[in-house]
Amino acid sequence: MTEVLTQTPTVTFAKALNAAMADAMRADDSVLVFGEDVGKLGGVFRVTDSLAATFGDDRCFDTPLAESGIAGMAVGMAMNGMRPVLEMQFDAFAYPAFEQVVSHIAKMGNRTKGAIRLPLVIRIPYAGGIGGVEHHCDSSEAYYAHTPGLIVLAPASVQDAYLMLRGAIDSPDPVVFLEPKKLYFAKERVDVDELRVRYESNRDAGIGRAAIVRPGTDVTLLAYGPSVSVALAAAETAAGEGRSLEVIDLRSLVPFDDATVTAAVRRTGRVVVIAEAPGFASVASEIVARVQERCFASLAAPVRRVTGFDIPYPAPKLEKHYLPGVDRILDVVDELNWEDA
Amino acid sequence: MKHATAEQTSFMLPSPQPVEFIDQDGRRQREVATRDYELPGVEKLLRGYQKLVAGRRINDQASALVRQGRMAVYPSSHGQEACQVAAVECLSEQDWLFPTYRDSVAVMARGVDPVAVMELLRGSWHSGYDPYEHKVATQSTPLATQLLHAVGVAHAAKLRGEDTVVVALCGDGATSEGDFHEALNFAAVFHLPVVFLIQNNEYAISVPLRQQSVAPSLAHKAIGYGMPGERVDGNDYAAVLAVMQHAVDRARNGGGPFLVEAHTYRMMAHTNADDATRYRSEEEVRAWDARDPLLRLRAYLRSMGVLHDDDEAAFAASAESIAAALRTGLNAEVEVDPADLFRFVFAEPTPQLMEQAAMLAEELSRPAGDAASASSAGSASGGQP
C-alpha cells in the first residue's frame, strides 16, 4: 500500500478524457459538452461524469435523441462563438449525423473562404473487442478520413486521451475524435496534473505526429486506436522468438505523419499495417499506398495488412475470429521475404 | 408528461384559412380572420414594395444571365418575392437569416452585395460573402440542414443572453426531411428564438405538395413540436410581414420558436435546367398570374393614394441599377486563383495539402504547351516528400 502511494496514481482512459473536458471547460467558458445521456448519467461510458454538476446544465446537457440534430446544432453554436464537444453514443449511431458532418462540418471553412471556422469536436466511442451487439462495434474511421476538411484522431494511450482531446478542443478545425471502447477502462500510471501543466504551457497535443511506442529493427508495425495494444503484444512475442519489431502508434489519421512512417520503413524495410476496420478501401489501404509510393526502393517485402475481414462486424461469440490478433500478425510477419535477407 | 387541454393548445393551431390582409385585387379584405396580427403601416408597405420591385428585377435579370451563359444556374424566386422580402424586413440588425439556394433575393434584401451572392451560382466559389458581415448564413443546398444551424446560432445566443432572433427559410419539400423535424424539435425543447418560414411554392422540383405531405397544412406540424404554427397567403406581402413580425417579436420576448407556412407559387421552372411542362400545365401557372405579389401590393398602395407615378419610376430605376450592377459584375471575367483550392480547407493546412498545392503550383508554372500532358500524367495522391 505504501508503495502504491508513493507512485503516480492509475488513471483510466475514460477518466483522462473526462479530465481533459473538465480542464478545457475550466480554461474556456465557450466550451460546451452535449449529446445523449451526457448530463446526469455522465454518458453510457461515464466519460462526461460530473461535468453537468460541476459546470451547470448550460455547459453540459442532454439533447433530444437525434444525432443529426446534435451535429447540426453544433454547427450553429460554433458559428456563434462556442466550442462544442459532442458525444455520439456509439460509432454506428453517429451515421444519422453523416450529412451534417460531410456536407457542412467538413466544408464550412472552405465554403466561406475561412470566414466561418467550426472549432468543434465529435467524440465517437468506436471499434470492437467488447462483446457488443450489432451497431456497437463499427470501425468507421475511413468515412471520416476520406472526407476532406476533418481532422481525425484515434488515441491509444491514457496520456494521449488527455492531451489529444485537449488539443482537439483547442483546434480551430473540426475534429472527429475516435475513442477505442475497449480501452475506456484500461488503466495506466499517468499524472494528469502534470499533463495539464505541460499542455497548458506548450499547447502540444501531438496532433499530426505518430509516436514510436516500441523501438525495433526488423519490421515496422503501424497501428492506431484499438490495434496498438495488439501490435505491442505481437512485438513482445516476436522478441521472445528473436525478431525485433518496431511499433508505431499513428495517433493522428488526418493529418497523417508521413515523415515518421517513412523514416521508420526506410530503416526496417518491412512493414505491416494493423487495423480493425474491414481492409477494403480502408485507412489501412491508404497507408499501404503511401508507404509503397514513398519507400519502394527501401522495401524488402510487400507491404502487408492485417485488418478485419470485409464483412459486417460479427456477433460477440464470433468477434475473436474477426479481430486482428497476435497470431495473425506474426503469421504475416513470417511471410515477409526473410529467405532473401 | 402533463396533458394539455384543447384550450391550452389551440393557440398553436394555424388560422382556419391562410392569413390575408390584401386580396388579389389589391383591396383590404375583411372575410378572412386575421387574429391579432396588425396590418403594417403604409410606410413599411411602401418600403416593402420597393424591395419587391427590386427582387422581381433581380430574378428576371439573373435568369437572363443564365441564358446568356454568364451564370451556371439560377433557381428563381419569381412569384415568391413577398416572402423573400418579408423574411428580412421583420429582422433587426443583430438577427440572423438562414437562406436556401432559392433565397438570393432575401440575401440581397439583407444587404449582401448582389454580385457576391451570385458567386455560388456563377460557379466561381461555393459562397461569395462573409456570413458575419450581414448575419446571413451561406445559402444551403442540402435541404433542411440549415434549419439546425439556425437552431445552434439561436442556442448560443440564448446561452450568452444576447438579443438575437434567427429566421430560417425552407421550402415545402424540405419539410419531408429528417432535419426539418429535428430542428423544430430542438428549437422547441430548448425554447429558442427561431422563426421557421416555409415557402410552400407547391413543388419540390416536379413533385407536388400532395405527394410530400397529407397533413391538414404544413403549419399544422407545429403543434406536434409544441410551438405555434400559422399559415399565411404568401403572395400578400402585408400578411407575410405581419405574421413574421409577430413571430419575431414573440421570439425576441422569450416566447420561443414559431412556424410560418406561406402559401405561394414557383412561377418559373425549378432552375433553367428543369422542364416544368413535363409535370404541370400552362393553365395552372397562368392562374397564378392574377395573384402576383407585386400587382396586389401595387394596387393596394395606389388605391390608398400613397404610391405615385414618380415613386414607381424611382423604384424601377433603383431596381434597374441593381440589375445593371449584376450585368456588369457577371459579364466581367471573374478571377479565380487555383491556390484557393487548398487555402481554406483547414485553418492549419496539413502537410498532405501543402504537398498537393505545391504539385499544382508546379504544374501551373510550366510553359502552356506542357500543361495538358502534365495534368493527364499527374497523380491526385500528391508528390513525394
Query: pLDDT digits over B232-274, tens only?
Result: 999 999 999 999 999 999 999 999 999 999 999 999 999 988 9
Taking the Cβ of residue B259 and every Cβ of chain A, the question of whether any pair is shorter than 8 Å is answered with: no
Cβ–Cβ under 8 Å, residues A133 and A186: no
Cβ–Cβ under 8 Å, residues B149 and A79: yes
Please name the residue of chain B whose CA is at the shortest distance from the CA of residue A111: B126
Query: pLDDT digits over B270-317, tens only?
Result: 998 899 999 999 999 999 999 999 999 999 999 999 999 999 999 999
User: What pLDDT score does B37 carry?
Assistant: 95
CB contact under 8 A, B345 and A289: no
CA–CA min distance B123, chain A (Å): 12
Strands A10-12 and A60-62: unpaired
| Pairs across A and B, CB distance < 8 A | 146
CB contact under 8 A, B182 and A69: yes
Whichever domain contains A275, its CATH number is 3.40.50.920
Share of chain B above pLDDT 90, in %: 90
User: What pLDDT score does A278 carry?
Assistant: 98
Q: Over 50: is that where the pLDDT of A27 sits?
A: yes
Count how many domains chain A has. Answer: 2
pLDDT band at B142 (very low <50, low <70, confident <90, very high): very high
For residue B167 the three cell numbers come to 429566421
pLDDT band at A252 (very low <50, low <70, confident <90, very high): very high
Cβ–Cβ under 8 Å, residues A43 and A21: no
Q: Which residue has the higher pLDDT, B35 or A301?
A: A301
Query: pLDDT digits over A258-296, tens only?
Result: 999 999 999 999 999 999 999 999 999 999 999 999 999
Average pLDDT over residues A38-56: 98
Indicate the average pLDDT of chain A.
96
**Shortest CA distance to B60 belongs to which of B286, B294, B246?**
B294
Q: Over 50: is that where the pLDDT of B374 sits?
A: no
Q: Which residues of B169-188 are buried (b: 16+ CB within 10 A; e: fewer)?
A: bbbbbbbebebbbbbbbbbb
User: What pLDDT score does B6 carry?
Assistant: 79
Taking the Cβ of residue B348 and every Cβ of chain A, the question of whether any pair is shorter than 8 Å is answered with: yes
Phi-psi region at A154: left, alpha or beta (left = phi > 0; alpha = psi -120 to 50):
beta
Q: Over 90: is that where the pLDDT of A148 sits?
A: yes
Q: Over 90: is that where the pLDDT of B170 sits?
A: yes
Do A188 and A281 share a domain, yes or no?
A: no
Do A289 and A189 share a domain, yes or no?
A: no
Query: pLDDT digits over B77-104, tens only?
Result: 999 999 999 999 999 999 999 999 999 9
CB contact under 8 A, B344 and A112: yes
**Shortest CA distance to B220 belongs to which of B5, B17, B6, B14?**
B14
CA–CA min distance B325, chain A (Å): 23
User: What pLDDT score does B4 carry?
Assistant: 77
Do A187 and A219 share a domain, yes or no?
A: no
In the set A104, A135, A136, A146, the catalytic residue is: A136
Of B156, B340, B381, the CB nearest to A81: B156
Taking contacts as CB-CB distances below 8 angstroms, the residues of chain A near B385 are 258-259, 262, 294
Answer yes or no: A135 catalytic.
no
Taking the Cβ of residue A242 and every Cβ of chain B, the question of whether any pair is shorter than 8 Å is answered with: no
pLDDT band at B383 (very low <50, low <70, confident <90, very high): very low
CA–CA min distance B40, chain A (Å): 32
Taking the Cβ of residue A149 and every Cβ of chain B, the question of whether any pair is shorter than 8 Å is answered with: yes
CA–CA min distance B38, chain A (Å): 32
- First-to-final CA distance of chain B: 62
Do A249 and A196 share a domain, yes or no?
A: no
> Which positions ≥6 away from A87 have C-beta within 8 Å?
A33, A34, A35, A36, A38, A43, A47, A48, A123
Please name the residue of chain A whose CA is at the shortest distance from the CA of residue B341: A110
CA gap B271, A243 in Å, rounded: 66
CB contact under 8 A, A72 and B346: no
Q: Over 60: is that where the pLDDT of B378 sits?
A: no
CB contact under 8 A, A74 and B152: yes
With a CB-CB cutoff of 8 Å, which residues 120-179 of chain B face chain A? 125-127, 130-132, 137-138, 142, 145, 147-157, 159-160, 178-179
Taking contacts as CB-CB distances below 8 angstroms, the residues of chain A near B381 are 289-290, 293
Indicate the average pLDDT of chain B.
94
Taking contacts as CB-CB distances below 8 angstroms, the residues of chain B near A74 are 152
Do A190 and A92 share a domain, yes or no?
A: yes
Side chain identity at A111, as an amino acid letter?
R
User: What pLDDT score does A5 carry?
Assistant: 56
Do A217 and A160 share a domain, yes or no?
A: no
Please name the residue of chain B whose CA is at the shortest distance from the CA of residue A103: B142
Per-domain boundaries in chain B? 6-331, 340-377
With a CB-CB cutoff of 8 Å, which residues 259-318 of chain A face chain B? 259, 262, 289-290, 293-294
Strand extents, DSSP E, B111-241: 166-171, 194-200, 203-204, 207-208, 229-233
Do A177 and A287 share a domain, yes or no?
A: no
Query: pLDDT digits over A302-327, tens only?
Result: 999 999 999 999 999 999 999 999 99
Please name the residue of chain B whose CA is at the shortest distance from the CA of residue A105: B149
Query: pLDDT digits over B11-25, tens only?
Result: 999 999 999 999 999
Do A29 and A110 share a domain, yes or no?
A: yes
**Shortest CA distance to B257 belongs to which of B201, B182, B176?**
B182
User: What pLDDT score does A7 carry?
Assistant: 77
User: What pLDDT score does B370 carry?
Assistant: 56
Q: What count of residues does chain B have?
A: 385
Half-sphere exposure at residue A119, Cβ-oriented, CA atoms within 13 angstroms: 19
Best mutation target among B98, B159, B194 (most A Cβ atoms within 10 Å) is: B159
Q: Tell me, which fold does domain B6-331 have in CATH?
A: Rossmann fold (3.40.50)
CB contact under 8 A, B155 and A75: no
**Shortest CA distance to B206 belongs to which of B264, B276, B103?**
B276
ipTM of this complex: 0.95
Please name the residue of chain B whose CA is at the shortest distance from the CA of residue A77: B152
CB contact under 8 A, B381 and A112: no
Do A146 and A268 share a domain, yes or no?
A: no
Residue A44: strand, helix, or coil: coil
Taking the Cβ of residue B182 and every Cβ of chain A, the question of whether any pair is shorter than 8 Å is answered with: yes
Do A187 and A313 share a domain, yes or no?
A: no
Domain that holds residue A217: 211-340
Average pLDDT over residues A50-63: 98
Do A105 and A75 share a domain, yes or no?
A: yes
